[in-house]
Amino acid sequence: MAASPPVELLAENHNSSRSNTTSIFTGDGIIVGGAGFIALTENHGLNWTTSSSGTMANLFGVDFLDSNTVIVVGDSGTVLKSTDGGNNFVKIQGVPATRGLNTVVFFDENTGVIFGNGETALRSTNAGSSWTTFIIDTTDMPTSTPVERGAVDYNSSKSNTTSIFTGDGIMVGDAGFIARTENHGQDWTTSGSGPNANLFGVGYFDSTTVVVAGAGGTVAISYDGGNNFQLVDGIPTTVDLTDVFFTDSARGIIVGNSGVILRTPEADIVVMVPDIFSDPGDTVTIPMAMRGAQGVDIFSFQFDLLFTGTMLEADTAYIDGTTLPGEEGWLFEFEASNNMLTIVAAGADPLGPDGILLYAVFNVAEDAQNNDSSPIAFANFLFNAGNPAPSQLIDGSVTVVVPGGDVDSNVIVQAFDASMVLRYLAGDIELSLWQQLEADVSANGQITELDASLILQYVAGIIVCFPSQCLITAPLANGNLSIPETIDATSEEVVIPIFITDAETVFSASFEVVYDSEVLQLTEIRTTPATGSFMTAHNAIDGEADIFLAGASEVEGDHELVEMVFTLLSQQAQQTQVILASARLNENLI
């Protein structure tokens, strides 16, 4: 997503494949927001890509009917439907509503309800293709309707990836209003105590645990099916929170105004093998990563890795240099056969919670063809004597194909690929969609100068895989940037430095610089001793310049990063300003 996505009053929902009363939860999800904003995720909200809604209406509610069908609602009676998982939407005609529609929920593949402003209540029995009004019994409800910007959710009993849908549901609204239904929204009764705040979102964690969210960062939880709620302390925001959903029995998402997205801490253990790309005849080293073992003592692990013996040959496996078992205090053994690699390890000190578990080395067959692929699949996995059990084992593969970072598609990653990234950022060249996918090696959904740095680090052998291929995070950077406040324009060539202090882990940087184009013309970017090995690119138009630099080595401490070289255009000017409008170190906005 963009740095400041238009996600005011947004909502979120997950992708579930429903068959009558059963929902198989995946990592897919959708958020919607202001001015027709829609974004999709395929990994439980870790990354998001935008989708086209075809409308500029503010969108407030979204729900999946099945793995492909999505309904979105918003301002002025807007109802949108997608039949391809949220990639494309059409507007439903003839909806009997003109007020804002704030929430939508489907109890099965055909039956759903929409609630909106002005006591608007709609029902569909044909998968959202048409809608009719119905009346909510307000006898026991406040005289002023409580469903302004309200939300509704169903009760589901979740076990790992399965959800059993019932007729129960909860609706929330203004002034802490909470109401419950036990018959798919036909009838509603007011619930017990709730937080004293306008409530905009609600989600079931399991059949008895319910979370509501609302104004000013309000979050409250109920452990008795929604009868009584207590406030949750320590919520890291004060913006209005507009929707809440649990993607499975361990992970939840709350979204809100100003682009706020809150996620529950990862409490489940994930072990994964990345997808690796290789040339025929290559030797590939595959890192196996683990995350989510906070507070859990793991003293041993054993498992089999299954692969295609005609394409791959298991060479060796090792834990030296890994971040979890380390080199000391752990015993490690492996045995390789034609299509299986058996791993056994044990130690006196427990594993760390996140990092590289081990490396496995395979030789790729010389006669392997382009797009040939072998799975690297887990079997018989065991931590300790079976406790804890990993909640997710993500199999990987080795594929003979263009690798990540190969921007120029010549089947090898070189420094030239990094230069193409910088030239693309500067507007000098265009990249095809495939090239853009190859360039985003940091896997954050956008191309930045850090991608160029990571490619250089890979070429130099400093890293063995990209964040897009492994369970690792792109490096974060810190530092303070400055340029002289006033520039003496007394000579034909004006050199202006950009300084950094307290630099930490800086592999790349970008700057937006503003200056008087009638006085100065940017002609050159010079590196300094601190950035002498860095690549640079820049683009200057009408007094605004974008500057990019990336390298394989990091900058630490206090330095002059670069020098901007200007030509003085007006001899009459004695002083002029050059303003550092914005900056980014690695992928951190400064």
For the chain, domains (ranges, CATH) are 11-263 (2.130.10.10), 270-400 (2.60.40.680), 478-589 (2.60.40.680)
In which element (H, E) is residue 419 found? helix 415-425
Give me the percent of the chain exceeding a pLDDT of 70.
Answer: 82
Most confident of 61-65, 151-155, 185-189, 455-459: 455-459
**C-alpha to C-alpha distance for 462 and 155, rounded to whole angstroms:** 50
Query: Does residue 201 carry a pLDDT above 50?
Result: yes
pLDDT tens-digit series, residues 323-342: 677 556 788 999 999 999 99
**C-alpha to C-alpha distance for 387 and 293, rounded to whole angstroms:** 12
Query: Where are the strands (E) in 401-534, listed by range?
Result: 478-482, 487-488, 493-515, 520-527
Query: Does residue 154 carry a pLDDT above 60?
Result: no
Task: Please give the C-alpha separations between residue 269 and each of 375, 396, 471, in angstroms, as whole numbers.
Answer: 21, 17, 12
What average pLDDT is seen over the chain? 80
Of 45-49, 53-57, 186-190, the poorest mean pLDDT is in: 186-190
Query: Does residue 173 carry a pLDDT above 50?
Result: yes
Per-residue confidence (pLDDT) for residue 161, from 0 to 100: 25
Higher-confidence position of 157 and 581: 581
- Average confidence (pLDDT) over 91-115: 85
- DSSP bridge partners of 335: 342
- Angle of CA points 339, 275, 354, to nearest 5°: 100
pLDDT tens-digit series, residues 243-258: 787 765 446 788 888 8
237-249 core/surface letters (b: 16 or more CB in 10 A; e: else): beebbbbbbbbbb
Contact between residue 330 and residue 302 where contact means Cβ atoms under 8 Å apart: no
**C-alpha to C-alpha distance for 284 and 554, rounded to whole angstroms:** 26
Band (206; pLDDT cuts 50, 70, 90): low
Per-residue confidence (pLDDT) for residue 588, from 0 to 100: 82
pLDDT tens-digit series, residues 521-558: 999 999 999 999 999 999 999 999 999 999 988 999 99
Per-residue confidence (pLDDT) for residue 192, from 0 to 100: 58
Contact between residue 304 and residue 319 where contact means Cβ atoms under 8 Å apart: no
Query: Does residue 451 carry a pLDDT above 50?
Result: yes
- DSSP bridge partners of 246: 252
